Structure 1
Amino acid sequence: MRLFSYLSVCLTVLAMLAGCSDDSERGSKQVTCPPGQTLNPIFNTCHANSGGGNLDTGGGSDVDQDTSTGPGPDTGGGQPDTGHQIPPDTGEACEANARHCESDSMAAVCVDGSYVKSTCPQGYLCRRGHCEATGCLANAVRCTSNTQYQVCLASGEFGEATTCADGKACVAGQCVGGCSVNLKEKSNLGCDYISLRHDIVNPPFGGAFVHSVVVSNPGNAAANLVVTSPELPNLSFPNTRVEPLSSLVLDFPNTIPVNTAGVSRRIFRIASDQPVIATQFAPLNNPGALKESSDATLLLPVNALGSKYITLGWRGLSPRGGYVDIVAASPGTTNVTVSSPIKLNGGAAGSVAAGGTTVFTIHANQVLHLVEDQGFGASQPSRDVSGIIVEGTQPIAVYTGATLVNIPDGPDALAAGDHIEQQMFPTNTWGTTYLAVPFKSRAAADFSIFRVLAMEDATTVNFNPAVTNNTSSTVLNRGQYFEFRSALAVEVTADKPIQLGQFMIGGEINPSPGDGDPAFVLPAAIEQFRDDYVFLVPAGYRRNFVTIVAPSAEQVVLNGSTVDASQFQSFGSGAWKYAIMPITAGIHTASSSKPFSVLLHGYDSYISYAFVGGIILPE
């Protein structure tokens, strides 16, 4: 690494400390600078040689920060030169660019192999190893509700809330006017969704179930829906109008389940003239005794879909294993390349050998149903569909699931099963920090199972606190996952993008047998957090809970009331807190001044559900 003058290093470190990133963040791959320019090892960018003068930090745009911390402009990056001097380094060996907080007012960053410390300037606090502004940047805009926004004043405080014009909703600090304009932000808010009736275990445990999609309208103008299916040309619904700040339940027929390997047109499309939110339930409400099978998934709008995915799932039970459903969302022909560690059966469309790659061709509104095909029986147990790489020549929707699972499986399997289903997130939207908070405990022996999936080779993943077998760090290659069990909240960080999956274990938990069953959800990375949510809690479940994870210093408003600080617990590095609270069935709202997460889950007799309340999908 080339050395700058002492003043240049001071300004460089202060600029980096003012950014917004994660604890224990590691350096990215270095670039090669052209002649006459010098590499800034902190920002990993090139600058003109300064000859010992002040280093140009480039304002906020060059700061190594999270790709997105939620809707609205970033108020934490690119701070002015404070003139503070950096004391001598501590001499503690460290990895380049690693950072942490010594205290609320002191940040430490690794420069040239040793930690150096700096006192945060007035108006800043150390958060996740960076000095972050306690106020806001002038002219920054944030949504305070689904229909209101605030603008930051020159004083560093947000002004009075302003209401969007009729027919518009506030998204990422902008008043969005219906679906006639492109949504600038990719999130779970959109105008076009794809729904499938995924494969569920045969009767009596689910064969006759309908699946439902709850469409919520966060705006102040009514949304009109058009629901179609290429397989059911006469499909109709008695009501397709969603009033402002309300939800509508669409119950779909169970006549076209996607349960046969191959290509079909067994999908549903939900189009809206206003931005809406869609959550799929299978089924929506508790179906009752001897019919216990349910799960839920947040649906992604078509504008938020990607072309590259790596799947995560769980092992299905014989005689039917896990599956992957791939839908062509764009007009024309889409070629889909599938590389799988296990054998997959695609019926007449072809198959994928274990460790092999196959290219499939599907057309608009067709679904390719690939089924795990390892063979069954005591000597050939089924395998889950995790680590399958799926790439399309156009945007595609990808879902995984299993008709029936026991979680956990193997020698400690619990005798209570359920189906699972989940829509996958494109790999270009994954994050590097996840906050793994277990589901509400049902008994002293209860725990959640988490899987961390890697997008790239040589991905280092850190756990705070340490997890299974006292593991505090592990290294994964592309498509590999690390599984751990925990009854405690864990901060999970990585030096490259990862995906976190969370699994609810079966209901045979002493001393509370029969309460809940397996469920599967993809918690949001902190880069995917929103600052406002609208969600529906299904009816008929004996116990429903909301899990809220927020920055440690922030307040969260739930249904118009601030959540009491006593509800929260700190964990990990101390930068985050979580609360798990009972919640009633019906429509709810949540908001905060900074991005946070909402996850819903519920239990009843051998039945359960789990889904995230919303998500931002940064690229």
Structure 2
Amino acid sequence: MVSNVSDSVANVSLSDKNGMVQQAQVQPGATHLFSDNGAHKMNAVTGLGDDGYVIESDQVLQVFQYMPPDGTVTADASIVLPGPALGDRHRVVTYNVHNNNTWQYAAVVATEDNTEVTFTLAQPGSETLAGGSFQALSYDMGMDVLVANLNRLDTLVIAGHWENVDAELNEFSGSVIESDKPIAVYSGKQLANIPEGQCCADLIATSVPPTSVYGTEYAGVRFLPVGQPGKYDIWRVIGNEDGTVIELTGDYQDTIMLDEGEFADIATGDVFWAAANKPFGMAHFMTGGSLLPMPFQPYDCPDVLQNPGDPAVGWVYPKGNWLNRYLFSPGTGSSLWCHDHVTIVAALSDWDQIMMDGQPLPDPTPIGGGSNHGYVYVPVPNPSHEIVAPPTVGVEVSVYGFVSHGSYFYPGGVGLQELNPAG
């Protein structure tokens, strides 16, 4: 899905290694859905492929990926990072549990020929599957680095089981992907139970930002509280440097200490503000629908959900990379996605300057903890929406939707500031 955020008609093309696959003219403020023709499918094993796509335009776009576009029970979505935002150092996020025999993965798409890519495991007990010319990796055995060379639009998939050979949990989160040229990185799990032991499993998939865009301040605002306090959310924070101390304030309070590559989970139905002494990464997970085992009718849609939502994942972006304008199309406009929402976060002092579809926002709820920020949940039943604020005002927008035992989630847009230039 491409959104034309410019004031001129955008000439947009979708191409693979063999040339242009589709093209479209997209009017200013409009969206267009490119559908994959099935020619390129990600391998379920470690190996190289030639399955990358590139979207090119003569105007500025925001791009989102839906997997698949309809409201199925195994769906997710992701923002597609633009070329200028791609980097050369990334830390992946997954969510693995015992007793779930589906594979986790990290995937790389090269943007230039002769790109050297290095994948390094970060967690004790973590392992990868062998595939093609690549041997299996094992952190505990000291064989923890994979090196590959890719040309433009070549792909590299690194896959791993849910458990290692000793039946211990095998987790890719925090693992590092480095390259000598900019690359696009994705990660997730074929089917994830979040949390462990809860029905039902669902696809989780997300684009992975470079560590150069990590920041020190994040808003932790749960999804529309369909089950408060029963259906909580999970945030995963990932350390990028030794000695990282994260202070959580607001309704949920805690102190988390991480070294490089370590991660910790925050499971709560409350909201919080996260501030640290060093840049870190944070991902947000929607949990299984069975945590709310009762019929529920959200306020924006007439039908009743038996188990609203299921696992989904997206990166949370720091305060310094919030935008002042968003144009997005929730749920691809499919009638199956009728429970679509946005969560909007901004400074309380800027709230009156923010407009959504030409109207002021509803009154905010303060996050607390001295953050001076607030949030609001807004239903988005129409195919296309715009949020606008003055250039100096930063706004965070999260877009998500759910059906019974199904969900998707993606950031409505991201900034490109290198808040952590050292990576």
Q: Under TM normalisation by the shorter chain, which class is it?
A: 0.7 to 0.9
Task: Look up the match of 2:107.
Answer: 325
Name the SS of the counterpart of 1:521 in structure 2: strand
Task: Look up the match of 1:557.
Answer: 355
Map residues 92-131 of structure 1 onto 2, 5 A cutoff: none
**In structure 1, how many angstroms separate the alpha carbons of the residues matched to 2:399 and 2:378?**
10
Shift of 1:353: 2.4
**Which segments of 5 or more consecutive residues in structure 2 lack a partner in the other structure?**
296-305, 419-423
Name the SS of the counterpart of 2:212 in structure 1: helix
Q: Give yes or no for the alignment of 1:608 onto 2:414.
A: no
Counterpart of 1:515, as a letter, is P
**In structure 2, how many angstroms separate the alpha carbons of the residues matched to 1:618 and 1:477?**
24
Task: Look up the match of 2:303.
Answer: none
**Alignment match of 1:276 (pick from 34, 50, 61):** 61
**In structure 1, how many angstroms separate the alpha carbons of the residues matched to 2:16 and 2:90?**
25
**In structure 2, how many angstroms separate the alpha carbons of the residues matched to 1:440 and 1:286?**
18
Name the SS of the counterpart of 2:281 in structure 1: strand
Kindly provide the CA deviation profile for residues 250-294 of structure 1, in whole angstroms up to 9, marking residues without a partner as x.
01022421123200001211111111110000012213xxxx210
**Alignment match of 1:434 (pick from 195, 198, 218):** 218
**In structure 2, how many angstroms separate the alpha carbons of the residues matched to 1:270 and 1:618?**
22
Moved over 4 A (4+): 373-377
Task: Look up the match of 2:172.
Answer: 385
**In structure 1, how many angstroms separate the alpha carbons of the residues matched to 2:127 and 2:162?**
6
The 1:255/1:564 distance shift into structure 2, 3 A limit, reads same
Map residues 9-408 of structure 1 onto 2, 5 A cutoff: 214-230=1-17, 233=18, 236-237=21-22, 240-259=24-43, 260-287=45-72, 292-315=73-96, 318-330=100-112, 332-340=113-121, 341=123, 342-351=126-135, 352-354=137-139, 356-373=144-161, 380=167, 383-408=170-195
**Alignment match of 2:340 (pick from 527, 544, 560):** 544
Contact kept, 8 Å, 2:163 with 2:170, in 1: the verdict is no
**Alignment match of 2:239 (pick from 420, 440, 454):** 454
Counterpart of 1:589, as a letter, is E
The alignment yields a C-alpha RMSD, in angstroms, of: 1.9
Name the SS of the counterpart of 1:252 in structure 2: coil
**In structure 2, how many angstroms separate the alpha carbons of the residues matched to 1:517 and 1:394?**
36
Task: Look up the match of 1:4.
Answer: none
Counterpart of 1:605, as a letter, is S
Shift of 1:487: 1.1
The 1:373/1:605 distance shift into structure 2, 3 A limit, reads closer
Shift of 1:511: 2.7
Name the SS of the counterpart of 1:251 in structure 2: coil
Contact kept, 8 Å, 2:250 with 2:367, in 1: the verdict is no
**Which segments of 5 or more consecutive residues in structure 1 lack a partner in the other structure?**
1-213
Task: Look up the match of 1:502.
Answer: 284
Shift of 1:348: 1.8
State the TM-score, normalizing by the size of structure 2. 0.88
Counterpart of 1:606, as a letter, is H
**In structure 2, how many angstroms separate the alpha carbons of the residues matched to 1:339 and 1:564?**
46
**In structure 2, how many angstroms separate the alpha carbons of the residues matched to 1:310 and 1:447?**
25
Counterpart of 2:378, as a letter, is M
Counterpart of 2:396, as a letter, is S
**In structure 2, how many angstroms separate the alpha carbons of the residues matched to 1:415 and 1:434?**
29
Identity %: 24
Q: Which has the higher contact order (CA 8 A, sep 6+)?
A: 2
The 1:268/1:346 distance shift into structure 2, 3 A limit, reads farther
**In structure 1, how many angstroms separate the alpha carbons of the residues matched to 2:217 and 2:9?**
37
Kindly provide the CA deviation profile for residues 183-224 of structure 1, in whole angstroms up to 9, marking residues without a partner as x.
xxxxxxxxxxxxxxxxxxxxxxxxxxxxxxx01111121111
The 1:542/1:374 distance shift into structure 2, 3 A limit, reads closer
The 1:346/1:250 distance shift into structure 2, 3 A limit, reads farther
The 1:218/1:321 distance shift into structure 2, 3 A limit, reads same
Contact kept, 8 Å, 1:552 with 1:570, in 2: the verdict is no
Kindly provide the CA deviation profile for residues 36-80 of structure 1, in whole angstroms up to 9, marking residues without a partner as x.
xxxxxxxxxxxxxxxxxxxxxxxxxxxxxxxxxxxxxxxxxxxxx
**In structure 1, how many angstroms separate the alpha carbons of the residues matched to 2:146 and 2:41?**
25
**In structure 2, how many angstroms separate the alpha carbons of the residues matched to 1:577 and 1:521?**
20
Q: Give yes or no for the alignment of 1:568 onto 2:365.
A: yes
Contact kept, 8 Å, 1:449 with 1:503, in 2: the verdict is yes
Contact kept, 8 Å, 1:465 with 1:472, in 2: the verdict is no
Counterpart of 2:38, as a letter, is N
Name the SS of the counterpart of 1:303 in structure 2: helix
The 1:477/1:570 distance shift into structure 2, 3 A limit, reads closer
Kindly provide the CA deviation profile for residues 76-127 of structure 1, in whole angstroms up to 9, marking residues without a partner as x.
xxxxxxxxxxxxxxxxxxxxxxxxxxxxxxxxxxxxxxxxxxxxxxxxxxxx
Name the SS of the counterpart of 2:132 in structure 1: helix
The 1:365/1:346 distance shift into structure 2, 3 A limit, reads farther
The 1:563/1:393 distance shift into structure 2, 3 A limit, reads same
Name the SS of the counterpart of 2:255 in structure 1: strand
Counterpart of 1:298, as a letter, is I
Kindly provide the CA deviation profile for residues 148-192 of structure 1, in whole angstroms up to 9, marking residues without a partner as x.
xxxxxxxxxxxxxxxxxxxxxxxxxxxxxxxxxxxxxxxxxxxxx
**In structure 2, how many angstroms separate the alpha carbons of the residues matched to 1:359 and 1:502?**
29
**In structure 2, how many angstroms separate the alpha carbons of the residues matched to 1:354 and 1:479?**
13
Kindly provide the CA deviation profile for residues 323-356 of structure 1, in whole angstroms up to 9, marking residues without a partner as x.
00012112x2111122103212351231332252
**In structure 1, how many angstroms separate the alpha carbons of the residues matched to 2:310 and 2:168?**
22
Shift of 1:358: 2.7
Contact kept, 8 Å, 1:349 with 1:360, in 2: the verdict is no
**In structure 2, how many angstroms separate the alpha carbons of the residues matched to 1:349 and 1:326?**
17
Task: Look up the match of 2:302.
Answer: none
Task: Look up the match of 2:312.
Answer: 519
**In structure 1, how many angstroms separate the alpha carbons of the residues matched to 2:162 and 2:221?**
33
**In structure 1, how many angstroms separate the alpha carbons of the residues matched to 2:5 and 2:250?**
37
Counterpart of 2:342, as a letter, is V
Kindly provide the CA deviation profile for residues 367-411 of structure 1, in whole angstroms up to 9, marking residues without a partner as x.
11000146579x6265232010111011111110110010001xx
Name the SS of the counterpart of 1:553 in structure 2: helix
